[in-house]
């Protein structure tokens, strides 16, 4: 077991049972660490202390916030997936907003000039390809290299009950998959931060002064409804539950509802009907400016009331079979499929006609090893 001596983790096992309280709502645990510090924030619209944005809360409590580092979807969460984030000034506070999504994903020394402490507080959804954990990786590395303290304010993982899917092969490492973890890793961002440091997945890992403020009264398998949508195309709990199963369709010809009022809750195609439900993707400036199969009437499956949870591989296998029988290309972006999967073995197994049981059996040894590897970093029962 790796030593965690350098980690400052506020353990709360002695508190009696009560409602789950996210770390941001426990200011007594982190405000003392910010006294006389120049603070940079990595935050978005989910970074709330009650009904107030963390930025506003810290300023009201005399914390010297000097800048905001904006991830994918932007500081206020209104930019589309993959849309470049530009530097700006927050009109409410006058704080400079520096983009760390686009050309610059790792904060530079210039961007961090004058900063003593970085706070990361963003709601994650527990899937490896959800890019906020990649942003956290780069921010941690920059903090380590610049000798800055880093505080992660933890939040529950709404898919925390599941550890499933292929473990990433570093040959396929990218911004949508940076770590040797499964597609569904079952960890919070705080736990992942501990693992990233402890496993030496960033440069100068031993130099990083990392503090994780945990959620109180939380178990990873309990249902947790997010109070704020974590990104424009995950508008509700159903989309968040379906996201791990449907995101791989981004590398295929199939639409998963971008450009509709129910993204990541349906699937369909114009030439290969996957069901009787019909929908038509339209251009939606804030969430899907140019959606796949735009303005085409598609036929498929409405999953808004489905019980799909975790990683449902059968959806991918059945759709692939339908396309194969129709003679239409399914994997329209095979390289992207391999990056999302973290391996080319899943795509090749599907193309070879392997069964779901065969495919799942192939990644079980790596999942077992991962569970053992992550054990020292877990904060919650």
| Domain boundaries defined on the chain | 8-226, 237-369
Strand ranges in 181-243 using DSSP code E only, listed in sequence order: 182-184, 209-213
Is 237-369 assigned to CATH 3.90.1690?
Answer: no
Q: Which residues contact 320 (CB under 8 A, 6 or more apart)?
A: 252, 330, 350, 351
Strand ranges in the chain using DSSP code E only, listed in sequence order: 8-9, 38-43, 48-49, 52-53, 64-70, 88-89, 96-99, 117-121, 149-153, 164-167, 182-184, 209-213, 266-269, 277-279, 298-302
Global confidence as pTM: 0.91
**What token pair was written down for 357?**
């049981």
What pLDDT is recorded for position 92?
A: 82
What value does the mean pLDDT take over residues 295-321?
A: 98
- The SS3 of residue 100 is coil
Query: Is residue 15 very low, low, confident or very high in pLDDT (cuts 50, 70, 90)?
Result: very low
Q: How much is the mean pLDDT over the chain?
A: 92
Q: How far apart are the C-alpha atoms of 279 and 264, rounded to whole Å?
A: 13
Integer-rounded Cα radius of gyration of the chain: 21
Beta bridge partners of 342: none
Segment of 16-20, 93-97, 376-380 carrying the highest mean pLDDT: 376-380
Token look-up 């003593």 returns 116
Beta bridge partners of 49: 52
* Res. 18: pLDDT tops 70: no
Nearest to 124 by CA among 139, 134, 111, 112: 134
Angle between the N-to-C axes of helices 356-374 and 189-198, in degrees from 0 to 180, rounded to the nearest 10: 70
Q: How far apart are the C-alpha atoms of 76 and 62, rounded to whole Å?
A: 22
Same fold, 8-226 and 237-369: no
Token look-up 């993204």 returns 263
Q: Which residues contact 318 (CB under 8 A, 6 or more apart)?
A: 274
* Res. 379: pLDDT tops 90: yes
pLDDT single digits (tens) 54-81: 999 999 999 999 999 988 766 665 444 4
Tell how many helices (H) and how many strands (E) occur in the chain. 8, 15
> Is 353 exposed, middle or buried (CB count within 10 Å of its CB: 0-12, 13-18, 19+)?
exposed
Per the CB < 8 A criterion, the answer to whether 106 and 100 are in contact is yes
Please state which architecture CATH assigns to domain 8-226: 3-Layer(aba) Sandwich (3.40)
- End-to-end CA separation in angstroms for the chain: 18
**What token pair was written down for 293?**
């199969």
What pLDDT is recorded for position 162?
A: 97
* Res. 242: pLDDT tops 70: yes
What pLDDT is recorded for position 1?
A: 35
* Res. 86: pLDDT tops 70: no
Which of 59-73, 107-121, 267-281 is least confident? 59-73
**Alpha-carbon torsion, ordered 203, 206, 208, 213, to 10 deg:** 120
């Amino acid at each position: 077991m790796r030593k965690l001596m350098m980690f400052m983790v506020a353990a709360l096992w002695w508190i009696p049972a009560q409602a789950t309280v996210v770390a941001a709502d426990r200011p007594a645990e982190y405000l003392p660490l910010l006294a006389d510090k120049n603070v940079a924030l990595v935050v978005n619209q989910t970074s709330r202390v009650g009904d107030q944005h963390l930025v506003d809360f810290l300023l009201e409590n005399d914390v010297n916030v000097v800048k905001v580092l904006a991830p994918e979807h932007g500081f206020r969460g209104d930019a589309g997936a993959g849309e470049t984030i530009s530097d700006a000034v927050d009109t409410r506070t006058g704080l400079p907003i520096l983009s760390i999504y686009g050309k610059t994903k790792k904060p530079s020394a210039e961007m961090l000039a004058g900063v003593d402490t970085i706070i990361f507080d963003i709601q994650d959804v527990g899937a490896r390809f959800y890019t906020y954990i990649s942003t956290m990786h780069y921010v941690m590395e920059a903090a380590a290299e610049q000798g800055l303290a880093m505080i992660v304010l933890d939040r529950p993982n709404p898919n925390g009950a599941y550890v499933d899917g292929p473990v990433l092969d570093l040959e396929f490492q990218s911004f949508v998959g940076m770590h040797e973890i499964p597609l569904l890793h079952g960890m919070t961002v705080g736990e992942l931060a501990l693992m990233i440091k402890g496993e030496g997945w960033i440069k100068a890992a031993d130099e990083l002064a990392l503090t994780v403020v945990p959620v109180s009264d939380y178990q990873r398998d309990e249902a947790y409804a997010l109070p704020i949508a974590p990104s424009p195309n995950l508008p509700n709990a159903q989309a968040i539950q379906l996201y791990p199963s449907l995101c791989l369709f981004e590398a295929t010809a199939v639409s998963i509802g971008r450009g509709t009022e129910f993204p990541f809750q349906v699937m369909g195609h114009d030439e290969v009907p996957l069901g009787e439900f019909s929908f038509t993707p339209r251009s939606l400036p804030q969430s899907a400016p140019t959606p796949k199969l735009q303005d085409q009437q598609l036929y498929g499956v409405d999953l808004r009331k489905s019980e799909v949870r975790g990683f449902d591989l059968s959806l991918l296998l059945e759709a692939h079979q339908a396309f194969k029988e129709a003679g239409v290309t399914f994997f329209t972006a095979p390289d992207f499929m391999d990056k999302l999967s973290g391996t080319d073995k899943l795509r090749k197994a599907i193309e070879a006609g392997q069964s779901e049981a065969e495919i799942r059996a192939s990644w079980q040894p790596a999942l077992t090893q991962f569970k053992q590897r992550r054990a020292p970093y877990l904060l919650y029962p």
